Amino acid sequence: MAKIIIPTPLRKFAQNNSTFEAAGKTVKEAVADLINAHSDIGKHILDDDKNIRSFIRIYVGEDDINSLKKEETEVTADTVISIVPAIAGGSI
Amino acid sequence: MSTQSLTPKDLARYARHITIPEFGVEGQTKLKNSSVLVIGSGGLGSPVLLYLAAAGIGKIGIVDFDVVDESNLQRQVLFTVDDIGKSKSETAKKRLLGLNPNLDITVYNTRFTSENALDLVKDYDIVADGTDNFPTRYLVNDACVLAGKVNVYASIFRFEGQVSVFNYELKDGTRGPNYRDMFPEPPPPGLVPNCAEGGVLGVLPGIIGSMQACEVIKVLTGVGEPLVGRLFLLDAASFHTRTLKVNKSPDTKIEKLIDYEMFCGILPPSAESENLVKEISVQDLKGLEEAKEDFQLIDVREPFEYDIANLGAELIPLSSVLEKIAKISKDKKVVIHCKSGARSAKAIKQLQDEQQFDNLYNLKGGILAYAREIDHSLQTY
């Protein structure tokens, strides 16, 4: 199963887990599997139209899925999917 | 400006740089003749400024309007207990000149705003972004794009850090990706708390800020390969690192500076009051206490925060508010507070929207405001 790395700001919606073993042959299916297991995380990753929110990037390996086949990018058992949100801490 | 060459004292001080074959006299001379504007002198800014000063950057600008607080000392290693209450930017300048008196350091004890951003960045070769909020990050990015300046970016949250080099001039004269190519829009307010609310491992900005300083030096000297078109991620808890590709987006268009608070969905006070969270000032809370009015005071902070300082409120941490709802009165005025007002506002919205409470008031400014304006004996953090 592909591994999804859950970033710190979203871990509270995934029972504080940092990773998730996702079923599915595509990024779309893997993310759906994550949301199925942790429903609260869904609204923070996808908007009402089920598109990835604009403050979230999703990567397969080191590649942004937007440069691949977007949500239809294939994944395998060795795939590492990174969910990367914007974070802003620095001075405080 | 004419190029300054290295003096015999420079050659001695920076010998360890000069000895590196890829660096040499040429690299050090470039640093001496370079200028960096560091925005924010806090968690990230502290190591950035210390290492850029140590490296011999000829001219450094420091933008920070804040004063030193004791809670800063957990990670802002530029400062000491003697600096509490003093201007961060002025204190930073003094400390840096103590490390390296040969530098030209200019302090801007002001906010970085749409009104002054382009004026501030124009006099510097490169900008290092050590700010702590989304509106300013987008402002820094856009100002650098409009002014043609490289933006060395870093940000942190709890155990996680990010570093990249934005708006770098490529060999063909075009510019590399910038922040908006990665994140066209910010998260909604409240989803990603700042470090005061979410916490940060103190050493993390030390690690990430040092990397940020390293990238500044690499860009200025041409040594190595800066993180152009790449985003470095560190999870310090697992010590897991990743370097991801950042691509330019054809949709990114930056034509002018805008109202970044509005862009980030941070409403002005009048609009927030229309957002149905009633507020009460610390003065009015004091009035209720002195008049011995029958009201309930609830604190939604964490137990360790309550142990630092409290107003004698009933402690119901935010995460357990719904679970302990039976303890919250619906029959009288209920004042809810936290550290600065954000978490208590969130609790009130939830109770109003989901449980039909209509008697709740958010303590404006939280316990910090109470400490500042009513009871100076309260420990702040």
A71 close to A35: Cβ distance less than 8 angstroms? no
Calpha distance B118→B112 (Å, rounded) = 10
Tell if the CB–CB gap between A18 and B64 is shorter than 8 Å.
Answer: no
Does residue B230 sit within a domain? Answer: yes
Residue A6 falls within a domain, yes or no? yes
Identify the closest residue of chain A to B130 by CA–CA distance: A90
Q: Does B194 touch chain A (CB under 8 A)?
A: yes
What's the CA gap between A19 and A24, in Å, rounded? 16
Last residue of a domain, one of B243, B263, B283: B263
For B311, the 3-state DSSP assignment is coil
pLDDT of residue B268: 58
Q: Are residues B352 and B207 in the same domain?
A: no
Last residue of a domain, which of B236, B263, B290? B263
Question: Any idea what DSSP says for residue B257?
Answer: -
What is the per-residue pLDDT for B187? 80
| Per-residue model confidence (pLDDT) at position B271 | 47
The tally of domains found in chain B comes to 2
The low-confidence residues of chain A, meaning pLDDT below 50, are 92
Residue in the structure block whose two tokens are 């560190």: B234
Identify whether residues B115 and B219 lie together within a single domain: yes
pLDDT of residue B274: 45
Give the pLDDT of residue B191.
61
Determine, yes or no, domain membership for B215.
Answer: yes
Q: Tell me whether residue A17 is in a domain.
A: yes
Q: Is residue B281 domain-resident? A: yes
Instruction: Pick A85's closest partner by Cβ from B187, B194, B247.
Output: B187
Q: What distance in Å separates residue A59's CA from the closest CA in chain B?
A: 8
**Cβ-based contacts under 8 A for chains A and B:** 115
Q: Give me the residues paired with residue B232 across strands.
A: B163, B243
Q: Report the alpha-carbon distance of residue B348 to residue A66 in Å, rounded.
A: 39
Q: Average pLDDT for residues B174-183, to the nearest whole number?
A: 96
Query: What single string gives the DSSP state of each residue in B139-165?
Result: HHHHHHHHHT-EEEEEEEEBTEEEEEE
3-state secondary structure A29-48: HHHHHHHHHCHHHHHHHECC
Considering only the beta carbons, identify the residue of A7, A54, A91 that sits closest to B44: A91
CA distance A73 to chain B (A): 16
Cβ neighbours of residue B377 under 8 Å, at least 6 residues apart? Answer: none
| Candidate from A9, A64, A90 with C-beta closest to B245 | A64
Q: Say if B14 falls within a structural domain.
A: no
Whether residue B124 is contained in a domain is answered as yes
The domain total for chain A is: 1
| B73 within a domain of the structure (yes/no) | yes
Instruction: Read off the CATH number of the domain in which A67 is found.
Output: 3.10.20.30
Quote the pLDDT of residue B340. Answer: 87
Residue B118 pLDDT > 70: yes
Query: B138 is written with which tokens?
Result: 């987008």
Residue B195 annotated to the active site = yes
Q: Look at B126-130, B210-214, B255-259, B332-336 and tell me which has the smallest mean pLDDT.
A: B255-259
ipTM field: 0.92
Query: What residues in B contact A79, CB-CB < 8 Å?
Result: none
In a domain, residue B6? The reply is no
Task: Pick A9's closest partner by Cβ from B132, B191, B242.
Answer: B191
| Domain membership flag for residue A25 | yes
Q: How far apart are the first and last CA of chain B?
A: 45
Let me know if residue A92 belongs to a domain: no
Q: pLDDT of B229-253, one tens digit each?
A: 999 999 998 899 999 999 999 999 9
User: Is B338 in the active site?
Assistant: yes
Is residue A10 within 8 A of residue A43, CB to CB? The reply is: no
Q: Please identify, among B263, B287, B322, the residue that sits at the C-terminal boundary of a domain.
A: B263
One domain for residues B219 and B172: yes
Q: Are residues B146 and B241 in the same domain?
A: yes
For chain B, how big is the Rg over CA atoms in Å?
A: 23
Are the Cβ atoms of B182 and A86 closer than 8 angstroms? Answer: yes
Handedness of CA A12, A16, A21, A23 (dihedral sign): negative
Edge-first strand order for the sheet with B160-166 is B104-108, B59-63, B35-39, B126-129, B150-157, B160-166, B230-235, B240-245
CATH assignment at residue B182: 3.40.50.720
With respect to residue B25, please indicate whether it lies within any of the assigned structural domains. Answer: no
Instruction: Provide the greatest CA pair distance for chain B.
Output: 78
Contact of A38 with A7, CB cutoff 8 Å? no
Percent of chain B at pLDDT > 70 equals: 94
Q: Which of A48-57, B88-97, B275-284 has the largest mean confidence?
A: B88-97
Whether pLDDT at B272 is above 70: no
The domain containing residue A38 runs over which residues?
2-85
Neighbour tally for B76: CB within 10 Å: 26
Q: Which amino acid is at A19?
A: T
Segment among A12-16, B10-14, B70-74 with least mean pLDDT = A12-16
One domain, residues B106 and B183: yes
The boundaries of the domain holding residue B366 are 270-373
- Which two three-digit tokens encode residue B347? 């609790």
Q: Decide if A91 is inside a domain.
A: no
Find the radius of gyration of the CA atoms of chain A.
13
The per-residue pLDDT of chain B, averaged, comes to: 92
Sheet holding B314-315, edge to edge: B279-280, B360-363, B333-337, B295-299, B314-315
DSSP β-ladder status, B360-363 and B333-337: parallel
Residue type, A50: K
Domain with B322 in it: what CATH number? 3.40.250.10
pLDDT at A92: 47
Question: pLDDT at position A24, please?
Answer: 94
Q: Which residue has the tokens 């040594």?
A: B223
B269: pLDDT strictly greater than 90: no
Question: Does B129 contact A at CB distance below 8 Å?
Answer: yes
B138: closest chain A residue by CA: A88
Secondary structure class of B239 (helix, strand, coil) = coil
Give the whole-number percent of chain B exceeding pLDDT 90.
80
Half-sphere exposure of B268 (CA within 13 A, CB side): 2
- DSSP 8-class letter at B281: -
- Rounded to a whole number, what is the distance in Å from the CA of A87 to chain B's nearest CA? 6
Indicate the burial class of A85 (C-beta count within 10 angstroms; 0-12, 13-18, 19 or more).
buried
Question: Both B122 and B68 in a single domain?
Answer: yes
